[in-house]
Structure 1
Amino acid sequence: MTRSMTAYASAETAGPTGTLSCELRTVNHRYLELSPRLPDDLRNSESALRERVAAKLSRGKVDLTVRLRGETRSETLDVDDALLGRLAELARTLEGRFPTMQVQFTELLRFPGVMRQADVDPEAVQAALFEALDHALDALTATREREGAKLAQLLRERLDAIERIVADVRGWMPQIREGLRARLETRLADLKQPVEPGRLEQELVLQVTRIDVDEELDRLATHIAEARRVLGLKEPIGRRLDFLMQEFNREANTLGSKSIDSRSTNAAVELKVLIEQMREQVQNIE
């Protein structure tokens, strides 16, 4: 599956302490690099979040931002009735000794331990966090796949163009060899000294060997077929395509270095343009 590494997605869900939101932004990177930003209360979930992201994504620089909003701690406060009762009993005991003593209700609430925050189930909080993250990851993956489909189409169009150039060069080679033979015959004819028998054929064989590009054309055809096969795989393909781009470029350079004809020279230049366009797109594929 061709997937882009550039995408954005967000999702949110209701948790026991408020609304949890997850925001994901990804750009291209050689490896998977996750940069999470979490509220302090959720720091203990970072390791599990990393594992969850790595299960869905294999490459890319990922910025993960988790926010917790709408938290209402007043709704989760409890009064320690037992402690409050002991304080009241103590106040009555001391009332005779300190008749002017007055204890305000608010002062009792400030006594350590009277007001306490109700316990929140950490598993429930983590479950809400994972739910938001999973929704965001699903949306992110869908976006990456849509963008990846567009990239795959661009690559296929350029592979078609490369294939046409390879076919053109194959068709020109017989004419290029004949032109080479004609030039050698002219040069030998211009020599004032006698030419050894078979000299033309020897020189022709040498020159034809130097400009022979059949092997390069065959390898280009093989790379085209392999690239098309890789584009149909259901797994991350970015690294494979990146390697293939290096191989394409190597053959195009060799083709240009062996050229003695303007047509094949222009073809080599056009090949390098197409390969560079593909390479730029491949850098963004997971």
Structure 2
Amino acid sequence: MGVLSGMTGFARVDGQADGWNWTWEARSVNGKGLEARFRLPTGFERLETKARDLAKARFSRGNVNATLNLRRETEAGGARIDLARVRGLLDQAAPLLESGEVARPTLDGLLALPGMIDSDQADGPDNSAELDNALLASLGDALDGLQAARRDEGRALADILAAHIADIARLTGEAADHAATRSDAIRDRLATKFAELLPEGLPEDRLATEAAMLAVKMDVREELDRLHAHIDAARELLAQGSPVGRKLDFLSQEFNREANTLCSKSSDSSLTAIGLSLKNTVDQFREQIQNVE
């Protein structure tokens, strides 16, 4: 028994290694194909190819987006004043200060100059292979979580789709059992109609010919047979599990085609009502299929 998967979900994973802390956030929404996008800090774009491979290994459809928030562990304050540079600058400016040509600088003014403070850059690149491996392993965990969320959605979708297929099967059965689809019923209705229009009625051989021609025109047995075959195929696909979204979408179009033909061939209002209910159920079925991987 396969597992049906949806295309909507979210997952978050935290990790740390080599003096770095990070968070992966992965989310996905519906899509006709698979499109994976990654937002990576400056210097870590090198991870994108392998990250895309990880997504392709788990998903076949959907717009998947993953974001890496990365920060380096630092000591308290995370910054260090370059005292040697500050002293050097003051020594060079001493003659100007003594002559009064410039005002004595303030500490905050000095620290605002470039290079006066050393700090670890949270988004700075790091060429550690160990870090890359840890980040990719963590991404794999996040994508696994996303996959689990999509399968949770898929289990709910499976129940909804199975109910729609059951309704389609019920309505198809009602159409097959309807009196308007039987040739003898068509003949009786035709005889009644001609009797209303022509008091003397029609000769029996002429009535038989007209009834036969009308029965051929109104015959929906082929449509009903194809509907039964499509119902069996739909149930098999649900049991197979994802990825079956595209196949189910194609099948829904076939369901709709047969329902349209059933309505167009019907000359009985109650049979037409069954056909319209069938079309409505097929539309609901197809709408839900758009969420299936």
TM over 0.5: yes
Give the Cα–Cα distance (whole angstroms) in 1 for the partners of residues 248 and 234 of structure 2: 7
- Give the deviation of 1:25 after TM superposition: 1.1
Task: Please tell me whether the aligned partners of residues 10 and 24 of structure 1 are also in contact (alpha carbons under 8 angstroms).
Answer: yes
Q: Which runs of 5+ in 2 are unaligned?
A: 79-113
Q: Which runs of 5+ in 1 are unaligned?
A: 77-109
The 1:216–1:73 alpha-carbon spacing in structure 2 relative to 1, beyond 3 Å, is farther
Give per-residue Cα distances to partners, 1:104-140, cap 9 Å, x unaligned.
Answer: xxxxxx99xxxx99x9552111111112111111111
1:126 aligns with 2:132: yes
Give the Cα–Cα distance (whole angstroms) in 1 for the partners of residues 246 and 156 of structure 2: 18
Task: Please tell me whether the aligned partners of residues 7 and 144 of structure 1 are also in contact (alpha carbons under 8 angstroms).
Answer: yes
Give the Cα–Cα distance (whole angstroms) in 1 for the partners of residues 25 and 208 of structure 2: 72
Give the Cα–Cα distance (whole angstroms) in 2 for the partners of residues 63 and 205 of structure 1: 61
1:262 to 261, 266, 269: 269
- Give the deviation of 1:232 after TM superposition: 1.2
2:58 is matched with 56
- Give the deviation of 1:10 after TM superposition: 1.1
Taking only the aligned residue pairs, the percentage that are identical comes to 38
Give the Cα–Cα distance (whole angstroms) in 2 for the partners of residues 194 and 265 of structure 1: 28
2:286 to 271, 279, 285: 279
Give per-residue Cα distances to partners, 1:112-171, cap 9 Å, x unaligned.
Answer: xxxx99x95521111111121111111111111111011011010111111111111111
Q: TM-score, normalised by structure 1?
A: 0.80
2:254 to 224, 234, 247: 247
The 1:152–1:194 alpha-carbon spacing in structure 2 relative to 1, beyond 3 Å, is closer
The 1:58–1:73 alpha-carbon spacing in structure 2 relative to 1, beyond 3 Å, is farther
Give the Cα–Cα distance (whole angstroms) in 2 for the partners of residues 39 and 194 of structure 1: 88
1:207 to 214, 224, 247: 214
1:144 aligns with 2:150: yes
Alignment partner of 2:67: what SS?
strand
Give the Cα–Cα distance (whole angstroms) in 2 for the partners of residues 48 and 8 of structure 1: 20
Give the Cα–Cα distance (whole angstroms) in 2 for the partners of residues 205 and 247 of structure 1: 28
2:170 to 164, 168, 188: 164
Task: Please tell me whether the aligned partners of residues 20 and 132 of structure 1 are also in contact (alpha carbons under 8 angstroms).
Answer: no
Q: How many residues align?
A: 250
Q: TM-score, normalised by structure 2?
A: 0.78
After the TM superposition, which residues 77-226 of structure 1 pair with which residues of structure 2 at under 5 Å, given as runs?
122-173=128-179, 177-189=183-195, 190-191=197-198, 195=202, 198-226=205-233
Q: Which amino acid aligns with 2:146?
A: L
